[in-house]
């Protein structure tokens, strides 16, 4: 199975899409894809679909959506081509729509037949979407970004810039684009977007260490307009402008940010950004200090526990 959530939702079995067109079954698949190979409780799926006040028929309707997903998975398994590996044997055999029984449409490893109910399994208290060792883009993003953060810690800025850029290349739009998010998916997509922004700020920091300030100017121009109160990005933009000999514009960036923060939040810019502004007033372009980068997760720490960028 191939799962992509860093952009439009895509879930493929044997290269065949199993993403439904109906909004609520698509939302169920989206939440299962975010937690692939992990049990998603029925209560979480019900809350995602109906919020805090689900109808009495919620669990029955959810079962209908799961059956629809299994029908799509069963059709994909029946397509010609290499079969996904079979999951570990279960203690029982059951039947379901689109999946047949435990000896379903596709042949897995060792001649074991693989059915849709093996791929989308009912387990105690919830459902489990098995990838069979396939690709999951948000986990690959975390792996590549973690490698980049370790390179930053080692002051290997070229390696960090390259690895973080490789991680960011996995994104092709907002997380789970095309899915109408409920409360559960909204939390997860926010986490992913924060992780993306953190990796982006770290990659820019690495590029600044490598003297690539002129190349960064177009990208930073867009970023600060999108993230109007993100101090790290504004600080990086100030440094890049100043090093390019555009000190006046660098100071203008600070003033625009200050106006936004004071007007919308009643806050002054942080002390580090204030020191950066004063240093730009007095320093030569090649002496402008780097702003404090967005905090990166410690080595070995999952991205979902990373601190929010300043």
Q: In whole angstroms, what is the distance from residue 38 CA to residue 128 CA?
A: 6
Question: 53: domain range?
Answer: 2-133
- Percent of all residues in the chain with a pLDDT value above 70, rounded to a whole number: 81
Q: What total number of domains does the chain contain?
A: 2
Is the alpha carbon torsion for 226, 231, 233, 234 positive or negative? positive
Q: What is the pLDDT of residue 282?
A: 87
Q: Lowest-pLDDT range, 93-97, 174-178, 294-298, 299-303?
A: 93-97
Q: Is the pLDDT of residue 166 over 70?
A: yes
Which is more confident, 259 or 287? 259
User: Could you write out the DSSP letters of every residue in 158-169?
Assistant: HHHHHHHHHHHT
Asked if the model's pLDDT at residue 32 lies above 70, the reply is yes
Q: Does the pLDDT of residue 181 top 90, yes or no?
A: yes
Percent of the chain with pLDDT over 90: 77
**pLDDT of res. 296:** 58
pLDDT for 283: 76
What pLDDT is stored for residue 288 in this prediction?
A: 54
* 27 and 170 both lie in a single domain: no
Nearest-angstrom CA–CA distance, 229 and 258: 9
* Nearest C-alpha neighbor of 90 from the set 130, 63, 44: 130
Query: Mean pLDDT lowest for which of 96-100, 191-195, 204-208, 238-242?
Result: 96-100
Q: pLDDT value at position 103?
A: 34
CA torsion 43→47→48→52, rounded to 10°? -170
Q: Give the pLDDT mean for 108-126.
A: 79
For the beta carbon of residue 134, count every other beta carbon within 10 angstroms: 17
Q: Note whether 150 and 297 are same-domain residues.
A: yes
Cα 273 to Cα 129, 182, 293, distances in angstroms? 46, 37, 11
Q: Within this chain, do residues 105 and 68 fall inside the same structural domain, yes or no?
A: yes
Confidence of residue 80 (pLDDT cuts 50, 70, 90): confident
pLDDT above 50 (res 110): no
pLDDT for the residue 309 = 37
- Asked, for residue 310, whether it belongs to a domain, the answer is no
Q: Check pLDDT > 70 for residue 284.
A: no
**Is residue 51 included in any domain, yes or no?**
yes
- Give the pLDDT band of residue 241 (cuts 50, 70, 90): very high
- Does residue 127 share a domain with residue 145? no
Using pLDDT thresholds of 50, 70 and 90, give the confidence band for residue 216.
very high
Supply the pLDDT for residue 109. Answer: 45
Q: pLDDT averaged over the chain?
A: 86
pLDDT, residue 83, reads 56
Same-domain pairing of 118 and 266: no
Residue 9: pLDDT over 60: yes
pLDDT at 308: 32
The pLDDT of residue 302 is: 44
> Which of residues 73, 108, 133 is at a domain's end?
133
Mean pLDDT of 281-285: 73
Domain assignment of residue 8, yes or no:
yes
pLDDT given at position 79: 82
**Of 84 and 99, more confident:** 84
Q: For residue 173, how far is the Cα from the chain centroid?
A: 10
Give the C-alpha distances (Å, rounded to integers) separating 74 from 22, 33, 96, 110: 18, 17, 10, 20
Q: What is the pLDDT of residue 76?
A: 94
Q: What is the CATH number of the domain that holds 201?
A: 1.25.40.10
Give the CATH number for residue 24. 1.10.10.10
């Amino acid at each position: 199975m191939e799962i992509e959530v860093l952009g439009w939702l895509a879930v493929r079995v044997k290269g065949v899409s199993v993403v439904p067109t109906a909004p609520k079954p698509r939302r169920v698949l989206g939440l299962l894809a975010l937690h692939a190979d992990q049990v998603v409780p029925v209560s979480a799926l019900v809350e995602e679909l109906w919020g805090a006040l689900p109808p009495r028929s919620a669990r029955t309707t959810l079962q209908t959506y799961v059956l629809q997903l299994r029908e799509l998975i069963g059709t994909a398994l029946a397509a010609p081509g290499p079969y996904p590996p079979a999951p570990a044997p279960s203690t029982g055999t059951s039947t379901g729509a689109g999946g047949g029984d435990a000896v379903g449409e596709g042949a897995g490893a060792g001649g074991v037949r693989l059915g849709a109910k093996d791929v989308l399994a009912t387990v105690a208290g919830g459902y489990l979407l098995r990838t069979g060792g396939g690709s999951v883009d948000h986990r690959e993003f975390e792996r590549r970004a973690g490698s980049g953060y370790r390179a930053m810690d080692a002051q290997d800025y070229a390696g960090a810039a390259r690895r973080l850029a490789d991680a960011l290349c996995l994104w092709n739009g907002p997380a789970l684009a095309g899915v109408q998010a409920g409360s559960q998916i909204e939390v997860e997509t926010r986490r992913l977007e924060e992780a993306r922004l953190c990796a982006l700020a770290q990659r820019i920091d690495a590029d600044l260490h490598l003297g690539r300030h002129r190349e960064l100017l177009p990208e930073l121009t867009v970023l600060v307009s999108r993230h109007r109160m993100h101090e790290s990005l504004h600080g990086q933009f100030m440094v890049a402008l100043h090093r390019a000999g555009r000190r006046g514009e660098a100071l203008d960036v600070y003033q625009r940010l200050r106006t936004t923060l004071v007007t919308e939040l009643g806050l002054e810019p942080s002390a580090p950004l204030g020191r950066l502004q004063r240093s730009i007033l007095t320093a030569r372009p090649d002496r402008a200090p780097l702003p404090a980068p967005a905090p990166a997760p410690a080595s070995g720490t999952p991205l979902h526990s990373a601190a929010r960028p300043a």
